Copies of this chain bind each other. A is one copy, B any other.
Amino acid sequence: MDNKKIVVVGGVAGGASSAARARRLDEFAEITMFEKGPNVSFSNCSLPYHLSGVIPDADSIVLMTPEQFKNQYNIDAEVNSEVTDVDTDKKEVEVKNTQTGELKKVPYDELILSPGANPIMPNCIKGIDKDNVFSVRNVVDIKKIQTYLEVNKVTDVAIIGGGFIGLEVCENLAQTDKNVSLIEASGHVMGTIDDDFAELVHKELYDHGVNVVLNDGLAEITDDHIKLGSGREIKSQVVIMAIGVKPDTALATKIGCKLGLTGGIAVDHQYRTSIPNVYAVGDAIEVSHMITRKKTRLALAFPAQMQARDAVDHIYGRTVENRGVIGSQVIHVFDINVASTGLTENECQKDGIDYRTAVVIPKSRVGIMPDATPLYFKLIFGYPSGEVLGAQALGKSDVDKQIDIVSTMISMHGHISDLTHLEVCYSPWFSTAKNAVNMAALVAENVLNGEFEQIQVKDVRKLVEKGAFIVDAREPAEYEEGHIKSAVNIPLSQFRQRLDEIPTDRPVYVHCLTGQRSYNMVRALNNRGYNNIINIDGSYLALCEYEYFKDQTTDRKPIVTNYRFDLL
């Protein structure tokens, strides 16, 4: 039998992984990988870190050269080579040398498409094709931006889009003393978290001097400013577009591959397209969500690598199990880390999934250890099933630790009862004895069992406005340092002597600093027969974080006398 001919289109995550896996399974296959750009196997996720100099040498972002592919894996990695067409009957690709224009035909037995996704660049925006408009997709892009910034001594940059790439570019540029504006068309940055946690990201950006503009879109680009939909003008000599990516389906469409509902290339559970012997993997394909079972797209490195592996395994007759994606992610933004997995509240609402949440804010490690910082953690679970649906975490510590636990639990279709007693690592150096995940699960179990009522911090402003009775269960000295304007201070340590101050004819909302003391008071009052006591989930700390950014950037009146962002 002849050696198998494998052709791979695209030389980054999915492509390079496909080729390398094929070689491991078949030493004699003829493997050719075509990349239209000048580099294969670069770390696209690392690109923004060149802008700040965290990665000083842009060329180091290229992890393997074509020579290394040849020497180590006997793989032909051809750069500047665009696959322009495929004869799927003859099983032959047409490849154009992008530098010479030369065309050649290359036969295949199996074809793997890993074309990736392109930054969205809406034509309707005036000036979108100007020289000072960039996107971040590859090493060439990032070099171009860096050169342009230096040559033109740029001082002001506008980043359009508050997703992962937008935020990372924002952080890295802000650290080079540029004036950075971040323009986000929706109400908050990061679609992967909800508005409550996003407000903490807004605060972090604002505190680091980023001009954060929400609910406003890009309308026009000139040499020295951008104009937004609202008419507002913002100084910027460079615009970086990061409003999202769309799957690069040009070749797939041309050769007749079916697309899915979401616009990605449709594949079966073995990553086969609708055309025989043509596979597709990576950012260009449509995948299934493990929880909702719906079709979705997910432009992340790890799923791309695993899809590549699975596609090649299938070519070689191996069983492929496709469990779908959950979308675990983490980002570093200035001094904080933000991670999430599974469904957000917003996604649950859109999909008609009934859910509840539990927010806890323990310290990142035992409080008497130095550098113990608040760890904001939200668990989202199905109601009434108690299934773990998602989680969000934010803080200065490695919050991906908590999210990875939840990701694992979601993958195993776990319930909150599986998280309450989950035995993870503890030492004062690393965490609290009850991990944030345990704490949230215990709260969640109480919520599920209807043991107490709670509301979220985003509802507190309305309560204050309508004059609700709010109890601040902290100690008087803490109250003095800053409190909700209309709150009454009845500390947990005094309430049993001051029960007559707690009304029985209307709802009583209780908070403390993080929710722990208020929770104890709520339970005690419930036990005492008070039946309209509601805990404010996340309490003062989460409230301050939630309110801060809008209080600073709009002319509304703060509902607290002073903000507090630290723990005891």
Contacts and interface: CB of A to CB of B under 8 A. Distances in A.
A395 to B, nearest CB: 13
Contact of A407 (B43, B417, B422, B431): B422
Given A368-B43, A368-B60, A434-B302, A425 B408 contact: no
Given A301-B433, A305-B434, A409-B412, A423 B72 contact: no
A274 interface: no
Contact of A339 (B73, B412, B425, B496): B425
Interface in A377-436: 398, 400-401, 403-405, 407-409, 411-412, 414, 417-418, 420-431, 433-435
Q: How many identical subunits does the complex contain? A: 2
A100 B280 CA distance: 80
B425 A493 contact: no
Contacts of A68: 493
B425 A23 contact: no
A423 B326 contact: yes
Interface stretch (A346-354, A480-488, A519-527): A519-527
A255 interface: no
A71 interface: yes
Interface stretch (A90-98, A330-338, A455-463): A330-338
A303 interface: yes
A352 to B, nearest CB: 24
Contacts of A368: 43, 46, 55, 60-61, 63
A306 B398 CA distance: 24
A13 interface: yes
Contact of A398 (B60, B430, B520): B430
Interface in A503-560: 517, 520, 523-524, 527-528
Interface string A22-35: 01111110000000
Contact of A369 (B55, B72, B428): B55
Contacts of A494: 71
A325 interface: yes
Given A422-B411, A492-B72, A527-B27, A433 B13 contact: yes
Contact of A422 (B331, B408, B435): B408
Contacts of A423: 302-303, 325-328, 341, 407, 411
**Main secondary structure on chain A at its contact with chain B?**
mixed
Contacts of A328: 423-426
A323 interface: yes
B49 A428 contact: yes
A414 B412 contact: yes
Given A330-B425, A366-B45, A520-B73, A527 B26 contact: yes
A500 interface: no
Nearest to A62: B368
Interface residues of A, number: 87
A321 interface: yes
B403 A425 contact: yes
A303 B367 CA distance: 20
A61 B54 CA distance: 39
A55 B370 CA distance: 7
Given A332-B427, A368-B43, A27 B72 contact: no
A438 interface: yes
Contacts of A357: none
Contacts of A302: 423-424, 426, 433-435, 438
A387 to B, nearest CB: 13
A27 B332 contact: no
A288 interface: no
A330 B426 contact: yes
A24 B409 contact: no
Interface string A49-91: 1000011000011010000100111100000000000000000
Contacts of A74: 496
A436 to B, nearest CB: 11
A329 interface: yes
Contact of A28 (B28, B164, B405, B527): B527
A106 B433 CA distance: 31
A300 interface: yes
B408 A424 contact: yes
Given A412-B414, A417-B321, A46 B329 contact: no
A433 B17 CA distance: 12
Given A27-B524, A328-B423, A517 B55 contact: no
B418 A412 contact: yes
Given A46-B368, A337-B429, 8 more contacts: A27-B528, A49-B369, A305-B434, A323-B421, A400-B401, A404-B425, A404-B435, A412-B412
For the complex of A and B, 7 pairs with smallest distance between CB atoms: A27-B527, A71-B493, A330-B425, A412-B412, A400-B425, A408-B408, A332-B429
5 contacts: A54-B369, A329-B425, A404-B435, A405-B405, A408-B412
